[in-house]
Amino acid sequence: MSKPWCIPGRPLPNGAGWRVWFALEGAGGPPALELRELTSDALVATTVEYFPIASPPGFDRRIVLADLKLDAPRPGAAFRIAIPELALTGIWSTLPGALTQDGLAVLLASCFYFQDDKTGHYANAVDKLLRGVTPRAAFKILMGDQLYLDWPASPFSGAVAATAERYGLYWGNEAYRRALFACPNFVVCDDHEFWNNYPEYQVHLSRSHDQASRDQWGGLAAQYLDAFQLALQRANPGASSLGQPWLEIAVSPVSFFLLDTRSQRRRRDGGAHDRRVISVEQEQALRAWQQGLTGPGFLVLGQPPFLPEGDWRDYTLANFRPEFDAIMAIVEDSLHGRNAEGRAHDIVLVSGDIHTARHVRAGVAGLGDRKLHELVTSPASRVGPHTSSPEPESPPGRLEGRRPDGTAMRWTPEGRPGVERMQFAHVDNNVALLTLRRSTVNTYGVEARFAVYRVRPAQQPFWKFWADDAPDPGANPGTMLMYETTLYLE
């Protein structure tokens, strides 16, 4: 019998503990969890409540969620976690109640393709950053394509067998689980949790060719997404239905909103009035979040907003104009101070997806010197096959939208020498750290340091033998660092 799989989910509110996910073989229960003080190694009193949930079709392990709770909650504290049965140890932090001068670090990652990282480059990079950068990341936000369910395709397997096999390939890999175990996880999904450009037709994927196949494969993908990923963070761990895909994380005065622009998406050939990207309920939740901000907000999406319209191969948010406009109008309302507090608050866009690490700084029409920032980290491991040299994905020279009252919105990305329309762009495999601190500069409330770190050089096509590879990422965060900048936010 193989070992249980264990992955930490969300830190529970108010420093109470953590959600923990187990996948178990046989009839035995989850392995024991030990929590100890970092300095004295003394055992910390905890209580564990277990919630068995239904395994998705074809998955031959039992899934059990556990809420590991401190008997005396301690917001913002770090502890040593051990699972003796699995010979696993790590350092997990509880969720802080408020931001301090010591800072809060969040590890950002997206787009992990197992077939190009079977030996653990990603896991090694996460380990180096957690050990070598202060403050230590309290949690990760994984921003989509945590696996590639559709590539390579499985043309000779049924939907149940292919989906179960692919999740088993990723979650069953010890190096990938090591990266996931390293610190608690929040998640946002994107298309490859389903298939490329989901839910649209893809010529190379028979699962997308007719409605019955789309319903079968898409329905299974949604069940696996819920059981493996959304279960890490849903409010009610014992719920029997699919959880809501969006989430708020508050560390006063900062707040994150994790916006799911994929799992609720409908095909573009639907009715004219169909909701095609996000549900009415999710848009209302986003609006309520923006209205309640008392400090900077971070809007986390599976797809970056600063992209031109795509085509049948890969649509972007700009292809869904009513909802794109609605999302961006909410962002602009915050910059104008249209909220319950009556005070302007920055909202920073954070995303993955595009196999480019980049920082876009855009001027906002009508707001003078105020800027709108988009921070992207992608990929943790680039999908193959590597038939050409990768190039950075650039934003268009100008993006436009319209508010509900018809008023125009316009954003103009600003470049710097050598990087057109961006402050930074690179295609090497990467992850990022977002470190937030109380600010002492002018009237700004929060300093946000965005730092991108190389996981490994981008793979060059096999025939390009003369290509110069990027430097090896090295053994410490200093040699891995590709870019850093500090934003002053209010």
Question: What's the CATH code of the domain at 359?
Answer: 3.60.21
Task: Summarize pLDDT for 143-154 with one digit per residue, the tens.
Answer: 999 999 999 998
What is the signed CA dihedral for 79, 486, 361, 327, rounded to 10 degrees?
40
pLDDT of 66 reads 97
Determine the Cα angle at 328 with ends 97 and 256, to 5°: 15
Do residues 331 and 472 touch, judged by C-beta distance below 8 A?
Answer: no
| DSSP-assigned beta bridge partners for residue 107 | 140, 433
pLDDT of 303 reads 97
Do residues 146 and 160 touch, judged by C-beta distance below 8 A?
Answer: no
The Cα–Cα gap between 334 and 214 comes to: 38
For 273-282, 326-335, 345-354, 372-381, which range has the lowest pLDDT when averaged over its residues?
273-282
The 10 Å Cβ neighbour count of residue 38 is 11
Arithmetic mean of pLDDT, 355-369: 95
Give the global pTM: 0.95
pLDDT higher than 50, residue 369: yes
Do residues 408 and 482 touch, judged by C-beta distance below 8 A?
Answer: no
Identify whether 111 is part of a domain: yes
E strand map for 239-383: 247-251, 254-259, 297-301, 347-351, 357-364, 371-376
pLDDT higher than 70, residue 122: yes
The Cα–Cα gap between 62 and 40 comes to: 36
Tokens 């187990």 identify what position? 22
Task: Summarize pLDDT for 51-109 with one digit per residue, the tens.
Answer: 999 999 999 999 999 999 999 999 999 999 999 999 999 999 999 999 988 899 999 99
pLDDT of 118 reads 83
DSSP 356: -
pLDDT of 466 reads 41
**CA neighbor of 449 nearest in space, from 435, 437, 432:** 435
Identify whether 188 is part of a domain: no
For 291-295, 381-385, 436-440, 458-462, which range has the lowest pLDDT when averaged over its residues?
458-462
Structural domain range at position 264: 96-144+245-489
Identify whether 306 is part of a domain: yes
Binned at pLDDT 50, 70 and 90, residue 1 comes out as low
**CA neighbor of 295 nearest in space, from 333, 344, 259:** 344
Identify whether 210 is part of a domain: no
Do residues 480 and 429 touch, judged by C-beta distance below 8 A?
Answer: no
Identify whether 14 is part of a domain: no
pLDDT higher than 90, residue 188: yes
Q: What average pLDDT does the chain have?
A: 92
Do residues 104 and 96 touch, judged by C-beta distance below 8 A?
Answer: yes
Arithmetic mean of pLDDT, 415-431: 94
- Write the Ramachandran bin of 89: left for phi over 0, alpha for psi from -120 to 50, otherwise beta: beta
pLDDT higher than 60, residue 471: no
Identify whether 414 is part of a domain: yes
Sign of the four-CA dihedral 263, 265, 269, 271? positive
pLDDT of 423 reads 97
Task: Summarize pLDDT for 264-307 with one digit per residue, the tens.
Answer: 898 887 655 566 899 999 999 999 999 999 999 999 999 999 99
| pLDDT over 70 percentage in the chain | 94
Identify whether 166 is part of a domain: no
pLDDT of 470 reads 45
Identify whether 181 is part of a domain: no
pLDDT of 296 reads 97
Q: How many domains does the chain have?
A: 1
pLDDT of 126 reads 97
Do residues 115 and 147 touch, judged by C-beta distance below 8 A?
Answer: no
| DSSP-assigned beta bridge partners for residue 483 | 452
Which residues, at least 6 apart from 197, have a Cβ–Cβ distance to it below 8 Å?
191, 310, 312, 313, 314, 315
